Structure 1
Amino acid sequence: MNLSTIVQYLRKTQQLPAGVWVLLGVFFSLISSLYAPAIIIASILYWLASYQLRSKISTRNAIQSLVLVSIGVCLCIIAYGQDQRVSLLEILEANVTIVSMLAGVSFLTMISQPKIGQKESLPIGNRTIISTFLGVHLFGAVINMSSVFIHADRMSANRALSPGQLMVLTRGFSCGAFWSPFFAAMAVALSYVPSANLALLMLIGGGISVLAMCFTFFEIKYRHSDTLFYGFPLRVNSLLLPSLLTALVFIIHYLFPDLSILFIITLCSPLLCLVFLAFKANPKELIQQHIEKRLSNMQNEIVLFLSAGVFGVGLNAILSNQSWFAPFNVFDASAASVCFMLMIGLSMLGFHMLIGISIVAPMVLPLDPDPSLLAFIILASWAIGAAVGPLSGMNISIQGTYGVSSHKIQRWNFRYALVMTTVVIAVIFVLDKFLL
């Protein structure tokens, strides 16, 4: 094959939707459970999709990703100079399974949507705070950020979103990271500590989410009582899919414990979607639209996670060869609390939650931490950081779509972040002393 043939082939690939490469990446990522080298093909496909979509990458993500890759490569070079070998394959495969899970879960948006008629009036009053919170929370736990905009579009149809509504939407969605196995936060946590107790994490995270809902309810009721709250109704029958999918993941994991949670979720999400689509009109068109629109617009997620993977590999290579660098002797409740607050602080300064996690996790992994404790602080830092971080993907998207400053959202959620941080630290000490 000569150079001109290769150039012609590359030009032809540019004509294909980037979503095709993402879909193939998911396929090869799943195949890697049976044939490990396939993960490299998946990585190349994801990087190819990112390159094809490079003009659509947000400036914020482009800068953060470029910095992460640059630092990661420099750290790898330094580690290599210290006789710490870092293979190219290790760099390529970092965080690929996380990207695959995000792409797989995205299929659920095709069959799980909270609905309310355009002519149907919105419920009013304090009771609707709970129904709206639960709606954006439970749907967000499965279909991710789409839930926020589905709710927000309808709630802002004839009026601007109020501070109370934005507090419910941002907190209701972000606290899904405390427990949802379909959140990127859980994928990141399990990629670092695959042996973490998923059932325990979901139980504790679900309880904290209930506390978050109660605090939000009372804060809006008593501190924003001058504004009438227009909410969103919760349809009980529409929660069938989230419940079914969660049960399916646990059943398969129980029957096949050697399969990773990430693999099960990545496999089950598209398959379950195909089953539901079989009962809908024009399933082929729906799938094609999803590939061309949703998968072909994952450039920001893909490039950020892959870049963070390069950074993580480099940092891990450096730290594994530096016995003198030991901020903690043991990963106990105190160390976990410090790491957790560090990650929250970085989020508040404008760094993506993934960056804080990529810094903390390689530092504590050599200490042989309890998997569930490390996973818990990763989930908690993501859940709170997404709500209070001025440059979190959710807050930036809300700013761009509804014209609300992300710094205002940060201010409205600051008290919430303080309260939830206190709750999380208390839970950390309880976990360390009694449960782990």
Structure 2
Amino acid sequence: MNQSSPTAITGWILLLMLLLALLSALTQIIPGYIAGIPAWAAAALLLRHQKPNQLIQSVILLSVGVIGLTFGLLNGADTRYLFKAIEANQLVVAMLIGVSFLRIVAANNIRCDEQLPTGRKALLNTLFGSHLIAAVINMSSVMIVGDRLSARQPLTPIQGLTLLRAFSNCAIWSPFFASMGVVLISAPGAQLGTLMLYGLPTALIGLLLSSWQIACHPDTSHAQGYPMHFKALWMPLLLAVLVMAAHWRWPELSVMTLVTLIAILFVLVYLSIKQGMNSINLLKLHVDEGLPKLGSEVTLFLAAAVMAAGVAALLESLQIRLAPEHFTAPEACLTLLALVGLALIGMHPVTTAVLAGSILMPSVSDPNLLGITLLLSWSIGVGLSPFSGVQLSLQSRYGLSALTLMKFNRYYGPTMLTVGFAVIWLYAGITEQ
């Protein structure tokens, strides 16, 4: 790809945005909205490369936000909402960009000539191993593992289910997932340690339920899995430990800033050791070709930021309070049910999480309860909705039927919702004592 092409230029603009966001977060030399400006420029350049379904949703969110901001500012709302819109969730976008560099390391660790294992144990190893990989490199893991499994024959429905569940359960706990970044912004004051403490066991329950379903399926005995070993899993384990240690050492820094910094530094150190001077070419290739592929996600985050700012400005100007009097376990369960329902009809979890946070925060006395609720809704919604990014990828890239995946979820969905309700009540019961 020619570096002067619009998409390659966009990659460098996004890299500039990442550096400005880190500079703002670490030094406060520049305000956050300055870092948001390059993100808007990149989104404008990538408009014609957007996925149609996400572009439509982004335009709707942006329109709602602009209308709300205009009406709110004309009727006395604080101008901080305008700067919040320009800031454009820049910490989350920066984290998305930073984590994307980990794909270089993950791709380096793949051995395409390795024999694929077969049978129940192979698929279960793929489920848990892919979960750990996805916890760090997100959606890329589905493509990496899926492409390897479908190299010689089409991906089977049971293999697709394995990848779907491995991915969707990451959203409940992983600090490297966009879900955690969005939730920490939407529920200010929520603590990473608490969210992970409740998220990890919930993810394990989801994986164990999936293990039972996969093991009982008749196609499992002759289905191929991904070869999981230490070489494939050491990176996510090490990075998770580094993030937790850094969060303990520097609690004043946001988790998103720590994740972004650690991801970038890790890639730089790893490539300099393993690749030497060739690391420059690998990094340049990712900026030229890898970063522009984030266009749809970046645009959606920007649009969601504008919508959240617009709704908040509108509600303030009209002095309207949509939130309940108190946000306790019953309200959290109803919120979880509503957000999963919205996911099923196609609303992106970024949208629903940001909107729920902006509406509910005035009633929230415990931001961890809201954070847990939003993470649960993100994970369950992504796993169940035929319109989620991962399911659309499985349908379009590997030819899996949306109806087949829905049939796989007919018992899993209600069960995980019940588990989610139980987690909410458990947390509320423990904190009230």
Q: TM-score w.r.t. structure 1 length?
A: 0.92
Secondary structure of 2:365's aligned partner: coil
Structure 1 residues 18 and 322, CA gap change in structure 2 (3 angstroms): same
Structure 1 residues 116 and 248, CA gap change in structure 2 (3 angstroms): closer
Give 2:54's aligned residue.
Answer: 61
Cα distance in 2 for partners of 1:78, 1:227 equals 60
Give 1:106's aligned residue.
Answer: 100
Give 1:207's aligned residue.
Answer: 201
Cα deviation for residue 173 of structure 1 reads 0.8
**Structure 1 residue 93 and structure 2 residue 98: aligned?**
no
**Structure 1 residue 29 and structure 2 residue 11: aligned?**
no
Give 2:339's aligned residue.
Answer: 343
Give 2:412's aligned residue.
Answer: 416
Counterpart code for 2:264: P
Structure 2: which 5+ residue stretches go unaligned? Answer: none
User: Does structure 2 retain, via aligned residues, the 8 Å contact 1:319–1:362?
Assistant: no
User: Does structure 1 retain, via aligned residues, the 8 Å contact 2:132–2:237?
Assistant: no
**Structure 1 residue 293 and structure 2 residue 284: aligned?**
no
Aligned length in residues: 425
User: Does structure 1 retain, via aligned residues, the 8 Å contact 2:8–2:289?
Assistant: no
**What are the within-5 Å matches in structure 2 for residues 72-83 of structure 1?**
72-83=65-76
Cα distance in 2 for partners of 1:195, 1:236 equals 36
**What are the within-5 Å matches in structure 2 for residues 38-53 of structure 1?**
38-53=31-46
Deviations 1:228-264 (A, max 9, x none): 3321122124322222222222222222221111111
**Structure 1 residue 70 and structure 2 residue 66: aligned?**
no
Cα distance in 2 for partners of 1:117, 1:250 equals 30
User: Does structure 1 retain, via aligned residues, the 8 Å contact 2:99–2:260?
Assistant: yes
| Deviates most, 327-336 or 117-126 | 117-126
Cα deviation for residue 324 of structure 1 reads 5.1
Counterpart code for 2:11: G
Give 2:383's aligned residue.
Answer: 387
Give 1:403's aligned residue.
Answer: 399
**What are the within-5 Å matches in structure 2 for residues 184-263 of structure 1?**
184-224=178-218, 228-263=222-257
Q: 117, 125, 129: which one pairs with 1:131?
A: 125
Cα deviation for residue 327 of structure 1 reads 4.5
Cα distance in 2 for partners of 1:389, 1:185 equals 16
Structure 1 residues 221 and 67, CA gap change in structure 2 (3 angstroms): same
Cα distance in 2 for partners of 1:296, 1:333 equals 41
Cα distance in 2 for partners of 1:119, 1:43 equals 43
Q: TM-score w.r.t. structure 2 length?
A: 0.93
Cα deviation for residue 114 of structure 1 reads 8.5
Q: Which runs of 4+ in 1 moved over 6 A?
A: none
Cα deviation for residue 207 of structure 1 reads 1.0
Cα deviation for residue 407 of structure 1 reads 4.3
Secondary structure of 1:32's aligned partner: helix
| Deviates most, 132-141 or 409-418 | 409-418
Cα distance in 2 for partners of 1:209, 1:20 equals 36
Q: Aligned residues: percent identity? A: 33
Q: C-alpha root-mean-square deviation of aligned residues, in Å?
A: 2.0
Structure 1 residues 392 and 331, CA gap change in structure 2 (3 angstroms): same
Cα distance in 1 for partners of 2:5, 2:146 equals 37
Cα deviation for residue 411 of structure 1 reads 3.5
Cα deviation for residue 369 of structure 1 reads 3.5
Cα deviation for residue 70 of structure 1 reads 0.5
